Chain A
Amino acid sequence: MANLAAVVGIGQTKYQTKRGDVSIAGLVREAAVNALQDAGLGWDDVDAVIIGKAPDMFEGVIMPEIYLTDALGCNGKPMLRVHTAGSVGGSTALVAASHVQSGTFKRVLTVTFEKQSESNAMWALSNPQPFSPHVNAGAGGYFAPIIREYMRRSGAPYNAGIKVATKDRLHGARNPLAHLQMPDITMEQVEESPMLWDPIRFLESCPSSDGACAMVICDESLVGESPKKPAWIRGGAMRSEPTMYAGREEVNPQAGRDCAADVYAQAGITNPRKDFDCAEVYVPFSWYEPMWLENLGFAEEGKGWELTMAGATSLDEGGDIPWNCSGGVLSSNAIGASGMIRFAEAARQVRGDAGDHQVEGAKTALGHAYGGGAQFYAMWVVSSEK
């Protein structure tokens, strides 16, 4: 029943710790202009704008769509702002796509961003909540115990996370937009970096970046108005579950598995490892690659780490299912944008547009985002074929 939609333009900014040269408006406009240029279109070709970002405390601007309408050419048009915690970049892409897939609009612009240098993300994530003991756990403190439990269950070698951290930064070195440029990174370097939340070391964690990512999504009928090969949206799904409940499976969350099953069914994916040419998956801490390999059905339960250790997910090692060729969240993390960057990088791959981090002949790719206490999931499948 849904209309077919495609990504016809992609724009990003260079990700770095602090973009002191632009305001928040300047940052989002840069990504939007890049996307429109990539699509060969102008502001008047956009029917509606959908933005998304993580908590407003990361910049200290409440409901920023109110302030950003001028920068995004949205005066007189509809503007929506999505907020689903860390998965927001992905869910924003899905909501934007729904504007077209529902037949309501023909062509939309969607932008996600974070300019977290303007506030203090660590503070916003772990500022003392009234009536709770202040343990200053932060995101790493929350995920580390879950990772320990994965290690216990799977018997993975201690350095599976180190392998991921190294691989994703080597991928990032192929991507001029990536925040962390570490072409000479070694596993020894990662292993020797300071331990933060055992077993997560400093170099196994994502950076904090400013940046924005934008896409132009349009109806099948308008695809010919843009010069590049479209990335057809073959499926999209979202799932949520509560943060905590008795008996919650935290290592291999049900919401992630259900979300994947839904999007795979829509796109006709039966064997993810074979049917996808690559994947852009939200891995903010290294160990989440083996964990998500299992959660997303690329590997059997308990065996995700084997794919990682064998180099199956590495472009440099000629793996058969490269993950995060863009460098992933481990190389750039503008929190509100990270989900959309995954979705957009997946689209770049199937358009043959991923420059030095291109997977040869990629036809079908997965974009994945998650957020909150690993409780919100957004995923899409894009393909060069309808």
Chain B
Amino acid sequence: MSEQREPVTAIETPIYLKYNFTAGEATSRFLSQVKEGRLVGQRCPSCHNVYVPPRGSCASCGIPTSEEVAVSDKGTVESFTIVWIPIPNNPIQPPYIIANLIPDGANMSFIHLMSDCVNEDVHIGQRVQAVWKEREDWDYGMDNIQYFTPIDEPDVPIERIGHMPVEGWGNADSVEGEQP
């Protein structure tokens, strides 16, 4: 006796592809430093801007970068958003802040989380400090920094965001070297 069955209109065909990613030379150097708790960018020999994380090139000049520059783990909020969608496998609960942050000494932002803060008080120009995981949990990744948290320092005016020296507000009036 044959059963009346529905025609097959869809099939699930999982695709499993294995990739062994390598980080690229510039990224590898950066991650080796991050493993030791240090943020190190690279400076473009032409426009002198410092990129963190470095990619091995200055995208606007189109030339390789190699000069390494230590930057601070203190920085400034360039922009941000409050996110209501959870991140898989991350203890941070929505609503949380994703921000574009520029560490002191660098000229371009990277994206990271902000936490331990009042979301509604986060603002452009706000000063923040990295909160690192326990040293024994450090690996080759920017998530050695759990998140950034606001600190009690004066806001950075709009026109100075992205132009703070590595000492931050410490030596604001005497800027060493060229700060583009």
Task: Give the B-binding residues of A (Cβ under 8 A).
Answer: 20-21, 60, 130-138, 141, 144-146, 148-149, 152, 194-200, 242-248
Contact = CB atoms under 8 A, between A and B. Distances in A.
Contact of A194 (B79, B84, B180): B84
B81 A141 contact: yes
B58 A136 contact: no
A145 B81 CA distance: 5
What 5 pairs across the A-B complex have the smallest Cβ distances?
A144-B81, A145-B79, A242-B59, A246-B49, A198-B82
A131 B79 contact: no
Interface string B87-124: 11110000100111000000110011100000000001
Contact of A133 (B59, B79, B112, B162): B112
A148 B140 contact: no
**A interface, by DSSP: helix, strand, loop or mixed?**
loop
Contact of A197 (B23, B81, B88): B81
Nearest to B62: A242
A156 to B, nearest CB: 16
A131 B27 contact: yes
B108 A130 contact: no
A145 B112 contact: no
29 contacts: A21-B9, A60-B15, A131-B23, A131-B31, A131-B142, A132-B142, A134-B90, A135-B112, A136-B86, A137-B83, A144-B81, A145-B79, A145-B98, A145-B99, A145-B100, A148-B124, A149-B124, A194-B84, A197-B98, A198-B82, A200-B81, A243-B59, A245-B58, A246-B49, A246-B107, A246-B180, A247-B49, A247-B162, A248-B60
A187 B87 CA distance: 30
Given A131-B21, A135-B87, A135-B113, A246 B162 contact: yes
Contact of A146 (B15, B79, B111): B79
A134 B98 CA distance: 11
Contacts of A194: 84
B1 interface: no
Given A246-B51, A246-B180, A20 B9 contact: yes
Contact of A137 (B31, B49, B58, B98): B98
A99 to B, nearest CB: 30
Contacts of A244: 59, 108
Contact of B87 (A134, A148, A196, A200): A134
B15 A133 contact: no
Contacts of A132: 142
User: Which of B85, B99, B124, B140 lies at the interface centre, i.e. has the most chain A CB atoms within 10 A of its CB?
Assistant: B85
Contacts of A144: 81, 83, 98
Contacts of A145: 78-81, 98-100
Given A134-B143, A135-B111, A245 B60 contact: yes
Contacts of B27: 131
B108 A246 contact: yes
Contacts of B50: 246
Contacts of A195: 82, 84, 95
